Structure 1
Amino acid sequence: MVCALGAAVCFGTATVLQAIAARHAAGTGAGGDAALLLRALRQWRYLAGLGLDGLGFLLQIAALRSVPIYTVGAALASSLAVTAVVAARLLRVRLSGVEWGAVAVVCAGLAMLGLASGAEGHRDGSAALRYAMLAAAVAVLGLGAVGGRLRRRGRALLLGLGAGFGFGVVEVAVRLIDEPAPAALVTNPAAYALLLAGAAAFLLLTSALQRGSVTTATAGMVIGETIGPAAVGVVWLGDRTREGLTWLAVLGFAVAVTGALALARFGEAPVTEAP
């Protein structure tokens, strides 16, 4: 659980640091997206954000090897609460009372999950599930192709959902990789699913945030990366709760995800200061 929360802190803080670097880069010269990225890469905050993203991913993997997927998914969704709090301090973004309440709701949900979560399931997952994850990763690319043709709101929602599904495939695939040796990875469909889904999710989320509503895209992503993977973990991988606390885990999961959805506008930290 500590690793899952650490990953959320890393991802949430990285978003704000990269937003600050992007704002500074945008104000120091003209040019397209490539020029903006090159200028951002010269900013220590952007590089620190990338480093935090890498650390967060490693912590996510460690968490997925220790606690149920439903706990990790809810914790990662809570990175929006971290982004909101850090943005309020570093970017001077003004949070409403409702948003501060949503931060508290996320924390309450995670506390419930921490109390109720058992150990990760010990089922290895069938070969069929591994190939299903690979097929799901390919389907994420298909969602991206379809979503790119829709109108603005529908496009943002579908691309956000697709990104969430992709990140969800990554969560499940990590659990399906039992042996990290190169020879074993080459023959494991889950390894290819992890790489393909991760890349596809990143591309779809970037497209959704650039070409549609940040709030809509992030809400779709949160739904996609939490509910499906949690169900796979419980049904196929044997994730369970502590004895008699299933109700608390379900409640905590619902509360944490609902709070994260209320903070969906922080899916891409504001790059301008609030008035």
Structure 2
Amino acid sequence: MLIGLLTAVAASICYGTGSVLQAVGSRKSARREAVAAGVTQHGGPNLSSTAKAAMTWEFIVGTILDFVGFGLGALAARLLPLFLSQTVISANLVITAVLSVRLLGIRLTRAEWTSIGVVCSALVLLASAAGPEGGGHTPIATHWWLLVISVLLMVGGTVVVRLLGARAAILAGLLSGLGFGALGVGVRVLNGIDPFDLGALLSDPALYAILVAGIGGMYLHTVALQIGSVNGATAALVVGETVLPGMIGVLWLGDSSRAGFAWMAILGFVLAVAGAVAVAWFGAPEAHGAEPEPESESESESGSESGSRSESGSQEPRPEELTPVPWPPAH
């Protein structure tokens, strides 16, 4: 249990740090692409702009941390009940919020600090109440269903998000959260791990469900970072990543709490999700009171900022213009 908890915490730190770095890269790219009209006809980022966001050095380092976090999270999903491992990992929102104070210059409000305290207290309750994880042995038909559902969610969701464009932040966050949740379930039921059997591993549909859900979730996560304010999307991601996998773990995989501590596990789970959603929700841009700089006379006479930048071509956006959201959604 202790090794599993430490692994989940380490995964959370990697994801939280990676999210801050990815946000910096995504925002810079999104601002530059706004000048070049790097959007679809519906107002959302196109594939080219998303790819360019992924090529910034900040995003690359953040992605490396995501891969490390993925490996640690996968191990945690094998060692802990899903309602505990997924909740601890989703607490990377707290890591992201705290790091944003240093890296993005964000000032956290009292409500945000209170929400962070609720999440930390809830995780203590969960860790105290969690029992041994259930088995990961399920019928192979379940693995096929997981693959089909993952494909439908990620492929169908991507199409819908592109059609909705700039209105799809919350939906993109929810779908990416469901993708990461499906990834956790897939890791838990994956065959050929213990004992290791390469043939069983490669023939298991759950392996391909993990790939589809992971890649699709990452893409939708990147899109959510590019679509304006993502506080609501972050809250949706937390719900998708924790609630459904936790229920699946309890109902189908045999996860349970310690005898007589079910009430504590339920309370801790509810408080952790509610606290994480509150951290996201109270992180709205207007809550941080960033004062826009007054326009100079030359800017007033030149029309819109985007027009003047298009003419100059090489002018870099000011730092305050790179923060359309206070901090990004996490995994």
Answer yes or no: same fold by TM over 0.5: yes
Q: Does the alignment pair 1:206 with 2:210?
A: no
Aligned counterpart in structure 2 of residue 222 of structure 1, from 222, 226, 238: 238
Cα contact 1:80–1:267 (8 A) shared by 2: no
Q: Show the counterpart of 2:14.
A: 10
Q: TM-score, normalised by structure 2?
A: 0.73
Q: Which runs of 5+ in 2 are unaligned?
A: 39-48, 286-319, 327-331
Q: Show the counterpart of 1:238.
A: 254
The percentage of counterpart residues that share the same residue type is 39
Cα contact 2:7–2:76 (8 A) shared by 1: yes
- Aligned-partner Cα distance in 2 for 1:151–1:203: 14
**Aligned pair in 2 of structure 1 residues 151, 122: CA closer, same or farther (>3 Å)?**
same
- Aligned-partner Cα distance in 2 for 1:157–1:23: 18
Q: TM-score, normalised by structure 1?
A: 0.86
**Aligned pair in 2 of structure 1 residues 19, 197: CA closer, same or farther (>3 Å)?**
closer
**Aligned pair in 2 of structure 1 residues 113, 143: CA closer, same or farther (>3 Å)?**
same
- Aligned-partner Cα distance in 1 for 2:214–2:28: 28
**Aligned pair in 2 of structure 1 residues 220, 20: CA closer, same or farther (>3 Å)?**
closer
Residue type at the aligned position of 1:251: L
| Per-residue deviation, residues 136-166 of structure 1 (Å, max 9, x unmatched) | 111212133234333744x222222211111
Residue type at the aligned position of 1:126: P
Q: Show the counterpart of 1:168.
A: 181
What does 1:2-81 align with in structure 2 at a 5 Å threshold? 2-20=6-24, 33=49, 37-38=54-55, 40-41=56-57, 46-81=59-94
What does 1:125-140 align with in structure 2 at a 5 Å threshold? 125-140=138-153
| Per-residue deviation, residues 200-232 of structure 1 (Å, max 9, x unmatched) | 111222223323541122122111111111111
Q: Does the alignment pair 1:142 with 2:156?
A: yes
Q: Show the counterpart of 1:255.
A: 271
**Aligned pair in 2 of structure 1 residues 163, 50: CA closer, same or farther (>3 Å)?**
closer
Cα contact 1:209–1:217 (8 A) shared by 2: no
Residue type at the aligned position of 2:122: G
2:164 aligned counterpart, secondary structure: coil
Cα contact 2:177–2:239 (8 A) shared by 1: yes
Cα contact 1:80–1:263 (8 A) shared by 2: yes
| Per-residue deviation, residues 49-90 of structure 1 (Å, max 9, x unmatched) | 333222211110111111001111111221111000111123
Q: Which runs of 5+ in 1 are unaligned?
A: none
Q: Which piece of structure 1 moves more, 197-206 or 13-22? A: 13-22
Shift of 1:23: 6.6
Q: Show the counterpart of 2:289.
A: none
- Aligned-partner Cα distance in 2 for 1:36–1:236: 39
- Aligned-partner Cα distance in 2 for 1:157–1:35: 22
RMSD: 2.8
- Aligned-partner Cα distance in 1 for 2:174–2:157: 9
Q: Show the counterpart of 2:120.
A: 107
Shift of 1:37: 4.5
> Which structure has the larger Rg?
2
